[in-house]
Amino acid sequence: MGRCPLETGGLPVVTRRPHYNCGMESPATELLRLLADRLERLSVDSIWARRASGLRGNVNRVLDEIANGQAVDPLRIQMLVERCFEILQKAAREIPDLEEIKKN
């Protein structure tokens, strides 16, 4: 799990979700974290859930690299973000329109 030094004493704390940065995160990092959370929420019944699982793993690897201070190619981040949005859009199309259901 993620480790983030506490301000008092600099001791590591293990959290349920990794903290990739204790300070300010870049907009790309924030977006990747948000997208990973959204992919995790896809219904297991969705055909996109399995693809989302692998993609989420890739996003988490990039976030780990960023947290470890490794250089990450911005093109790689852009491609991941685009793929995340693509999967989320396709999964959203599977959600039934409640207004249409109520009319019938």
The per-residue pLDDT for range 10-52, each reduced to its tens digit, is: 433 333 344 444 455 789 999 999 999 999 998 888 888 888 9
Structure confidence at residue 24 (pLDDT): 58
Per the CB < 8 A criterion, the answer to whether 94 and 46 are in contact is yes
> Phi and psi of 102, rounded to 5°?
-65, -35
**Position with higher pLDDT, 89 vs 99:** 89
> Is 18 among the domain residues?
no
Residue whose C-alpha is closest to residue 36's, from 24, 14, 20: 20
> Is 15 among the domain residues?
no
- For 57, the domain range is 23-95
Q: What is the DSSP letter of 7?
A: T
> Is 42 among the domain residues?
yes
Its pTM stands at 0.68
> Is 59 among the domain residues?
yes
> Is 29 among the domain residues?
yes
Total domain count for the chain?
Answer: 1
